[in-house]
Structures are given as structure tokens and as C-alpha cells.
């Protein structure tokens, strides 16, 4: 079983390649172009939010501050009348450098998990197809299914599920291929971590 130290190269290479591919996918006007809708009255909405002084955070509406209030007639009326939604207010302007670094770290963590799972299932010297199958499956679990429960519960649109899944499948196959390509040979010394 190859240790994570032996897998540093596929971990690093897959994280770098996925970072570049994800940047291209999101910057090019491809399938994500319609994921987030334009808010036609965004100036009025921004003014209203500023005037309301709502602190940064994630909000769901209608909602109650106290769980016992969910049974009240007032809440039932608000719930039936709608609208229903989620509001995510950030504390500051997005910081692209910080977000890019955090994303790259996430890709490194996913690649390390893929390496760990694959090393449990395939020995050093395993064939390309064997490593590809396990590494791609492990990556798929992270990239495609990882955020699905939150998307279901917090109103992610079906279109966004589909476009994210497309990205995840691409990332999974790339990750699997990188691990298969750089998988340690059978005669490589095994370093257990």
C-alpha cells in the first residue's frame, strides 16, 4: 500500500490541474452562464438591505427566531404567503486571492483523500485502469456528491445541480487519470504514513 508521502506528486499535480480547469470552466462563458439569475431590482434590494441593517450571515425566510413559534398562526400565514428563500450576506467584498487560495487548499485536501482511499484499494504497481477506476470514484464522491445534501435543503436550482455535476465528473476523471499516470511502481519503497 503506497503511503501519502509516496503520493505527493499525484496529489499536487491533480490539485493544480483541477484548479486550472475549474478556473477555465468558470471564466469561459460555458454552461455556468445561466446558473445565477440577474436580479432586476438589485439597487432597490441593496438599499433595503442596507437600511434594514441585517448583519452578515445566512438567512432563511420565512423563519422563526424561536422554534416554538413555528406552530403559531402568524408564522403559518407568513409561510403560506411566501416568498421563500435563502439570503447570504457577506461581511465584505469577495476577496479573489483568498478565495482562490482556499479553493486550491480544498483541491489539495480532496486529492489527499483520493490518494488515501486509492492506496487502500490498490497496491503500488497496480495497472492504470485499476487505479483510474478507484481514484475517479473517490474523486466523484467528493466533487459531485459532496455538497448535494446542502443543495437539496437550501434550494439550489436543478440547473445548478446539473452544471456542478458536469464539472465534478470532469474533475473526477482528471483526478483519476493523474493518479493512474503517477501511481507508484511495484518496486517503489513503501513509506507508511
What gap in Å lies between CA 11 and CA 104, rounded to an integer?
A: 12
pTM of the model: 0.82
Q: Which domain holds residue 171?
A: 8-38+94-182
Per-residue pLDDT at 159 = 85
| 114 and 177 co-located in one domain | yes
Give residue 190's pLDDT band: very low, low, confident or very high (50, 70, 90).
low
| 77 and 141 co-located in one domain | no
Q: What is the pLDDT of residues 64-80, one digit of tens each?
A: 988 888 989 999 999 99
Is residue 157's pLDDT more than 70?
A: yes
What gap in Å lies between CA 179 and CA 126, rounded to an integer?
A: 11
What gap in Å lies between CA 136 and CA 142, rounded to an integer?
A: 10
* Residue 3: alpha-carbon gap to chain centroid: 26
Per-residue pLDDT at 112 = 97
| 164 and 84 co-located in one domain | no
| 70 and 148 co-located in one domain | no
Give residue 23's pLDDT band: very low, low, confident or very high (50, 70, 90).
very high
Q: What is the DSSP string of 111-144?
A: HHHHHHHHHHHS-TT--HHHHHHHHHHHHHHHHT
**Diameter of the chain measured on Cα atoms:** 71
Angle, in degrees to the nearest 10, between helices 128-143 and 158-182: 150
Q: What is the pLDDT of residues 27-57, one digit of tens each?
A: 886 788 777 788 899 999 999 999 999 999 9
Does 100 reside within a domain?
Answer: yes
Structurally, the chain folds into a number of domains equal to 2
Does 21 reside within a domain?
Answer: yes
Is residue 147's pLDDT more than 90?
A: no
Per-residue pLDDT at 150 = 83
| 19 and 106 co-located in one domain | yes
Does 187 reside within a domain?
Answer: no
| 67 and 80 co-located in one domain | yes
What gap in Å lies between CA 18 and CA 28, rounded to an integer?
A: 15
Amino acid at each position: 500500500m503506497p503511503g501519502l508521502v509516496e503520493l505527493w506528486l499525484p496529489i499536487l499535480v491533480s490539485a493544480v490541474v483541477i484548479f486550472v480547469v475549474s478556473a477555465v470552466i468558470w471564466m469561459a462563458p460555458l454552461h455556468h452562464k445561466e446558473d445565477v439569475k440577474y436580479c432586476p431590482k438589485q439597487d432597490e434590494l441593496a438599499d433595503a438591505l442596507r437600511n434594514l441593517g441585517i448583519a452578515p450571515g445566512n438567512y432563511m425566510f420565512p423563519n422563526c427566531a424561536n422554534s416554538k413559534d413555528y406552530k403559531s398562526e402568524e408564522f403559518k400565514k407568513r409561510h403560506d404567503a411566501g416568498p421563500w428563500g435563502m439570503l447570504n450576506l457577506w461581511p465584505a467584498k469577495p476577496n479573489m486571492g483568498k478565495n482562490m487560495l482556499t479553493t486550491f487548499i480544498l483541491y489539495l485536501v480532496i486529492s489527499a483523500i483520493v490518494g488515501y482511499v486509492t492506496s487502500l484499494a490498490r497496491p503500488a504497481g497496480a495497472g492504470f485502469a485499476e487505479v483510474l477506476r478507484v481514484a475517479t470514484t473517490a474523486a466523484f464522491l467528493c466533487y459531485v456528491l459532496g455538497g448535494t445534501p446542502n443543495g437539496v435543503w437550501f434550494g439550489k436550482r436543478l440547473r445548478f445541480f446539473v452544471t456542478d455535476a458536469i464539472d465534478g465528473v470532469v474533475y473526477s476523471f482528471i483526478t483519476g487519470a493523474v493518479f493512474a499516470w503517477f501511481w507508484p511502481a511495484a518496486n517503489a519503497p513503501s513509506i507508511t504514513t
